A and B are shown apart, each in its own frame.
Chain A
Amino acid sequence: MYTYSEYDDAYVRHRVNQFRGQVERRLDGSLTEDEFKPLRLMNGLYLQLHAYMLRVAIPYGTLDSAKMNRLADIADKWDKGYGHFTTRQNIQYNWPKLADVPDMLEALAEVGMHAIQTSGNTIRNVTSDQFAGAAADEIEDPRPVAELLRQWSTDHPEFQFLPRKFKIAITGSPNDRAVTKAHDIGLRMVRNEAGAPGFEVMVGGGLGRTPMVGKIIRDFLPKADLLPYCEAVVSVYNTLGRRDNKYKARIKITVHENGLDTFRDLVDARFAELRPAFSGVDQEVLQGIEAQFAAPAFRQASDDAYHAAYEQDGMFRSWADTNLTAHREPGYSIVTISLKAHGKTPGDATSDQMRVMADLAARFGHDELRISHEQNVILPHVHRSDLPEIHKILKAHGLATANLGLISDIIACPGMDYCALATARSIPVAQQIAERFDELKIEHDIGELKLKISGCINACGHHHVGHIGILGLDRAGVENYQITLGGDGTETAAIGERVGPGFAYDEIVPAIERIVYTYLDIRESAEERFLDTYRRVGAAPFKLALYGEEAKGRARAA
């Protein structure tokens, strides 16, 4: 894991002091809100519906126990004893007081964390595969490159006032767990014919009001060209991107309006200028970073304890079947701790739970933790012999929900319970769906089903790429929920299709239930996932289940 250099440390502390002065000047009246707002946003401080909200970056979702414990301490000391992990692998505090925020940032700086560039029209926190460095299917750990991108993009003087925010995601595996195709730049590690690792580069992906799947701009970019190439892409976007209309300012629109070929030509021309300026210092820096991401000293031990628990304990077996993922090291597993206990707020963890997870990482997990964009916490390196003990501890703290990838493992944005941009609530809808399917006891039978909820068109809840997506809107002063089907956030990315008119708040859970029962009726086998069934049969049976004969009439009329 990367440890701050003296330079990083000095920079972050300098920014804390700068912000402390800015808050003081706001409080004594020398700065107006109009003057202060861009300054606080540069430090991740939003003003939401009921309170300020501080968004803290968790670079590429990687933490150690010291950082996680500090997040817990901050939650207790300056917030309400919990934090919300987001689809950007960040954590948000929902109740900070303005005067306390500089102290919160200082507490973060002490453990090598900050909230810089978690807002504003800059390059945001680089996100990555939550199983990076552990996954059995990985070509290379993408985190050293993600860290290089973080260092390059942090306070990059050319990219502090982009036309709009800019998000980069990177995966080292062919199986895309980082939704790279829904990012401004998506990087997927591949090997060329000679076996050398490099990147497939995608641009112009994004969700929001104009969802688009990223387009491949380079099939194979040598690893050493990554920074100059990314700089060329962002540089072209910075000059070409629209600044006249906020809704047309993202790079997806720039690429769409100019055409991929034109955009690529401009990037290539800019790259030709920039490449010689990169003397190789970046590669030296990368080598230093790579050394810090060396794999832990995996141990050899018997996993008899695991097998014994698996045979004897049904709850453990269910959890192991659902929440473990194959590790590249024999004898090891990747543990996903679900933050989706039925009826709880997706992505929330209390300070006690954070400390429990930090302690588990320190005792059993080579001191590593990850946050996934699906709002869960991961212990990436666990020897299987420790799993029964880990499960016991998780269970005692409400963290052993066995629902990874199932219908109750819902992504939900904060929605109108917190967010000033929201047009409807997300959290209670997620809570009710999870509780309903838990009650029905059918979620394991349903199998993999990604349900994602956004409380507005900006799509923080990734509804476009949910197998079932729910979008909450304000229709004539009433909450209304649109359903999309067939979305996919993986390497086979697809944008879900709207199935028909929306549903009222009290109709949405029964509507989801009808969709799921329809799937169970028509799937060819238990192995055919919801998404596969949808791809095989299309929307018609689901429309019929949702809208009855009316849907048939509409289809005939069309």
Chain B
Amino acid sequence: MPRTFTPKIVTANDLLEGDVIYLTEDDTWSRALNDAELIEDEAHADVRLIFASQQVDRVVGAYLADAKPGPNGPEATHFREVFRATGPSNYAHGKRELAALS
């Protein structure tokens, strides 16, 4: 039986700030995971990763991460991606700072 494809998002770090960013459907980068394009097709995932990896003046270390659909957009499935999406647990810095502002 062919293995089922787990939905993916494309994520990377911002070149200037290092912050975690996500590729959106309209080819922009967002700092919020729930803005990311949830990719349900393996071939499309490969295309999107190549597109992301070519943006060498904007992003560093693009890769595909597992995700699942949620009421407000994609959600992380692995705890590492949860921490990347939410920021460090000990201070209101990074993503937590952004969350406090919005």
* Chain A interface residues (CB < 8 Å from chain B): 26-27, 29, 32-33, 47-52, 80, 94-95, 97-99, 345, 416-418, 425, 427-428, 431, 474, 477-479
Contacts and interface: CB of A to CB of B under 8 A. Distances in A.
Given A49-B84, A418-B88, A428-B89, 12 more contacts: A33-B15, A47-B60, A47-B61, A80-B91, A94-B88, A95-B93, A416-B79, A417-B83, A417-B90, A431-B90, A477-B77, A479-B79
Contacts of A427: 88-90
A52 B17 CA distance: 7
Contacts of A32: 56
B79 A33 contact: no
A497 to B, nearest CB: 28
Interface of B: 13, 15-20, 56-57, 60-61, 77-80, 83-84, 87-91, 93-95
Interface centre among B61, B84, B93 (most CB of A within 10 A): B93
A98 B57 contact: no
Given A33-B61, A98-B15, A50 B88 contact: yes
Contact of B87 (A47, A50, A477, A479): A50
Contacts, number: 73
B83 A47 contact: no
B20 A49 contact: yes
Nearest to B62: A33
A51 B19 contact: yes
A417 B88 contact: yes
B56 A29 contact: yes
Contacts of A417: 83, 88-90
7 contacts: A27-B16, A51-B19, A95-B94, A98-B15, A425-B89, A427-B89, A474-B80
A98 to B, nearest CB: 5
A478 B20 contact: no
A50 B20 contact: yes
A243 B56 CA distance: 29
Contacts of A416: 79-80, 83
A97 B79 contact: no
B6 to A, nearest CB: 12
A50 B19 contact: yes
Contact of B93 (A80, A99, A425): A80
A417 B83 CA distance: 7
A479 B89 CA distance: 15
B53 to A, nearest CB: 10
A94 B95 CA distance: 13
B3 to A, nearest CB: 17
B18 A48 contact: yes
Contact of A33 (B60, B83, B87, B94): B60
A48 B57 CA distance: 18
Nearest to A479: B79
